Amino acid sequence: MELNERMKTILAAVVHSYFTTAEPVSSSIIAQKYHLNLSTATIRHEMYLLEKNDYLWQPHTSSGRIPTDKGYRFYVDNLMVKNYLREKEKREIIQIYKKSKEFEEAMKTTSQLLSKLTDNIGVVLAPVIYNNIVKEIQFVAVGNNRILTVIVTDAGLVCQKIVNVSGEIDKDRLNYLSNFINSKLAEKDIDITNLNNILLDELEKIISLQERFNYVYNFLEECFNIRYSENKVYLDGRINLMKHPEFKETDKLNYILSLIEEENILAATIRGYLGFRKTKIIIGKESKLKEMQNCSLVTSEYSIKGKSAGAIGILGPTRMDYPRMISITEYISDKLSEILSEF
Amino acid sequence: MELNERMKTILAAVVHSYFTTAEPVSSSIIAQKYHLNLSTATIRHEMYLLEKNDYLWQPHTSSGRIPTDKGYRFYVDNLMVKNYLREKEKREIIQIYKKSKEFEEAMKTTSQLLSKLTDNIGVVLAPVIYNNIVKEIQFVAVGNNRILTVIVTDAGLVCQKIVNVSGEIDKDRLNYLSNFINSKLAEKDIDITNLNNILLDELEKIISLQERFNYVYNFLEECFNIRYSENKVYLDGRINLMKHPEFKETDKLNYILSLIEEENILAATIRGYLGFRKTKIIIGKESKLKEMQNCSLVTSEYSIKGKSAGAIGILGPTRMDYPRMISITEYISDKLSEILSEF
DNA sequence: ATTAGCACTCTCATAGGGAGAGTGCTAATT
DNA sequence: AATTAGCACTCTCCCTATGAGAGTGCTAAT
């Protein structure tokens, strides 16, 4: 069924009122607060139709109405008015970011900003590295039997790993090795995912010539074995959950807490939604995760030097101020992109 | 008032029964479950005295009794029977640790182990570095205008920092610099806290002689400026809170959630209790933090190569199985010490 | 010193009732 | 044909009452 204009107006009013008060919305509230010049009976009739079409639902007969996931979806896709951050808010965000001189700090600041500005949970996925071109590899002997491998990518991301080796470390050989590898890297663009295969193939050739490289082979294999599955996630504002009346019910709180406990699952979920467009909104049961059924997630991708790198987002009850969540997420992802590109 | 033997027995029984059932303990329950060969009236009389002396309290007149913080304290200090982990459990812990090849992994594994084994929140404070002797410093140019500084301490801890520099990096100068610094480090034991002062003093001398070092001065100042306040904390098992009936009450949950939201405060609190003895127990209001008033914290220090490095702990409701919490915390801290010492 | 006995207190579950909010339906109005 | 007034009906919420049950404190007897 196609919604007529009046139904759209009423749906938008219900979404707005329910977001504001967290109470089921009655026909008289719509009539009073939104000046539609309609009687409550007429509004009631339209709400009845909206309910029949799954845009609204009632906790019990003779109570006011609450938007369904479908109702929120229609609102987000067709009804909501874009929100713009005030200049003052933008300045404050920029001001706070000025203090972030390092990568880790920028990530933390971002999740804090997201949670403070939205009163929800702020989520930041660290940049993925696997589609990056490897620009440079350095080996640093730390102590007597450990080597710190530093991989620098074209986007300027730095990826480190400490590997234990048996036996003394010969610094000259280590130098020779890194010079050799870096010369190979300069020749062609090697994706970090292929690092292992390509470089070890190259090394095979030398090893057959120069036996003395043999001892580093195992160590290199370990160095290049970067675990892509390990997605660092920065979360902030869990306590904000307690501000929302929907999470007064223990089982709903339980769901969302177990969602944010398993950071890997949350990260994988967010990644699963990426790539289609910059900002993405997942409302309640639209997610396959049962833990997310009472929540909405607004995510926005950020980039480093123009190349998509990761995503930020906010997680809260489905009853949220979607226009504002979107504008905040988008603005912050833009700023984060700028900052990370400068590093 | 000095507690007589019978009062001690009854107090221990109340603590045990309340831990098991989470229900206020009545005189008849004590009589039935703990076979003291006393009538309920006698037990009631002793409980009355225990209450008068603040070891027990009643939620309301004519209800059973619950231990107070003081009651738990007396139990922990004088009554509880030491618990020993079963060999099977020890083996399982060792087995799980075998997978941890890296520092970061060991930290995460530890917090997970703590939370899984105790059904409470597992806390791990990363090793503090400020009382370590600096053994070695390496500079690695990453990209064109960034330098990765790697500081290795005598305990084998590695501390890294990326610093932006303006202008091109001369690799020969960087080498010269690190050789110079490492020679100075070999001469005397420099505490990491004094790194900045001492080395920059030394550099001053050279700079006056060799003008070309001037450009690195600012950069070094930034490199050595390690922020000690930044205490990395690993937390796991927040969801376990929901298993305990005491946190069904929203405001109690609120308190503990805000405690674990501010990881820095939690870390500082735990650090504040360290040093006196290996294992420390903080019960409810014994902590000055109002957020901790419904919780207990059991912490145990771990060491690296015999030198105290950090602490692990578990955080849960005051109604907890103290003997078991202690044995788990102590055993895991021992294992963690071993693993970190081997790295 | 211990205990049996008992009155007393408080919680908890249940039921009833009245107020209030809000709906759905129908008949009247525009 | 669309809108609305009117009204019966439903459901929640809050208050009160009531009785059972658990547990205590006290006293007198053992």
Strand B134-142 with B146-153, pairing: antiparallel
Q: Which chain A residues are Cβ-neighbours of B136 within 8 angstroms?
A: 142-143
| Residue A229 CB neighbour total at 10 angstroms | 8
pLDDT by position in tens, chain A (length 343): 789 999 999 999 999 999 999 999 999 999 999 999 999 999 999 999 999 999 999 999 999 999 999 999 999 999 999 999 999 999 999 999 999 888 888 999 999 999 999 999 999 999 887 777 888 888 888 777 788 888 888 877 888 777 777 767 777 777 777 887 888 777 777 777 676 667 667 666 655 545 445 555 556 666 666 554 457 899 999 999 999 999 988 889 999 999 999 998 999 999 998 887 899 999 999 999 999 999 999 999 999 988 888 999 999 999 999 999 999 999 999 999 999 988 7
Closest Cα to residue B315, out of B268, B232, B228, B256?
A: B256
Please state, for a pLDDT cut of 90, what percent of chain B lies above it: 60
The full set of domains in chain A, from first to last, is 5-79 (1.10.10.10), 87-126+231-342 (3.30.450.40), 134-224 (3.30.390)
DSSP letter string, A215-251: HHHHHHHHHH---TT---EEEE-GGGGGGSGGGGSHH
Better-scored residue on pLDDT, B86 or A341: B86
Mapped onto helix, strand or coil, the DSSP state of residue B317 is: strand
Q: What's the pLDDT score for residue B223?
A: 60
DSSP letter string, A285-329: GGSS-GGGTTEEEEEEEEEETTEEEEEEEEEEESSS-HHHHHHHH
Give the pair of three-digit tokens for residue B218: 């600012």
pLDDT tens across B16-62, in order? 999 999 999 999 999 999 999 999 999 999 999 999 999 999 999 99
pLDDT tens across B90-99, in order? 999 999 999 9
**H-run or E-run covering B11:** helix B5-21
Interface A–B counts its CB contacts (< 8 A) at 76
Q: Which chain B residues are Cβ-neighbours of A143 within 8 angstroms?
A: 135-136, 152, 156
Q: What's the pLDDT score for residue B71?
A: 98
* Residue A261 sits at the chain B interface (C-beta within 8 Å): yes
pLDDT tens across B132-158, in order? 788 888 888 877 777 888 888 887 788
The neighbouring-strand residues paired with B149 are B139, B161
Q: What's the pLDDT score for residue B149?
A: 83
Q: Which chain B residues are Cβ-neighbours of A245 within 8 angstroms?
A: none
Q: How confident is the model at residue B228 (pLDDT cuts 50, 70, 90)?
A: very low
CA-to-C1' span, B11 to D19 (A): 34
DSSP letter string, B163-232: EE-SS---HHHHHHHHHHHHHHHHHS--BGGGHHHHHHHHHHHHHHH-GGGHHHHHHHHHHT---TT---
Q: How far is CA B333 from CA A108, B95, B115, B263, B315, in A?
A: 29, 15, 14, 20, 15
Closest partner residue to A242 (CB to CB) among B101, B138, B254 is: B254
pLDDT tens across B318-342, in order? 999 999 999 999 999 999 999 998 8
**H-run or E-run covering A279:** strand A279-283
Question: Whole-angstrom Cα distance, residue B115 to residue A296?
Answer: 28
Q: How many Å from the N-terminal Cα to the C-terminal Cα in chain A?
A: 52
Closest partner residue to A254 (CB to CB) among B158, B242, B250 is: B242
* Residue B254 sits at the chain A interface (C-beta within 8 Å): yes
CA count, 13 A, side-chain hemisphere, A248: 5
Q: What's the pLDDT score for residue A66?
A: 98
Q: What's the pLDDT score for residue B31?
A: 96
Beta carbons of A85 and A328 less than 8 angstroms apart: yes
Question: Whole-angstrom Cα distance, residue A117 to residue B42?
Answer: 60
Burial class (CB within 10 angstroms; exposed 0-12, middle 13-18, buried 19+) of B304: buried
Q: Quick one: closest CA in A to B259, which residue? A: A239
- With an 8 Å Cβ cutoff, are B148 and A136 in contact? no
Mapped onto helix, strand or coil, the DSSP state of residue A264 is: helix
User: Any idea what DSSP says for residue A144?
Assistant: T
pLDDT tens across A117-167, in order? 999 999 999 988 777 788 888 888 877 778 888 888 887 788 877 777 776
- Looking at residue A154, its amino acid is D
Averaged over B301-317, what is the pLDDT? 93
Question: Whole-angstrom Cα distance, residue A247 to residue A263?
Answer: 20
pLDDT tens across B49-66, in order? 999 999 999 999 999 999
User: Any idea what DSSP says for residue B63?
Assistant: S
Q: Which chain B residues are Cβ-neighbours of A140 within 8 angstroms?
A: 138, 140, 150
Mapped onto helix, strand or coil, the DSSP state of residue A179 is: helix
Q: What's the pLDDT score for residue B229?
A: 43
Mapped onto helix, strand or coil, the DSSP state of residue B311 is: strand
Q: Which residues, including other chains, have CB under 8 Å from residue B122's CB and lie 6 or more apart?
A: B110, B111, B112, B113, B114, B115, B116, B234, B235, B236, B237, B312, B313, B314
Question: Whole-angstrom Cα distance, residue A100 to residue A112?
Answer: 12
Question: Whole-angstrom Cα distance, residue B180 to residue B204?
Answer: 13
Question: Whole-angstrom Cα distance, residue B322 to residue B324?
Answer: 5
Q: What's the pLDDT score for residue A209?
A: 47
Quote the minimal CA–CA distance from B318 to chain A in Å: 21
- Looking at residue A189, its amino acid is D
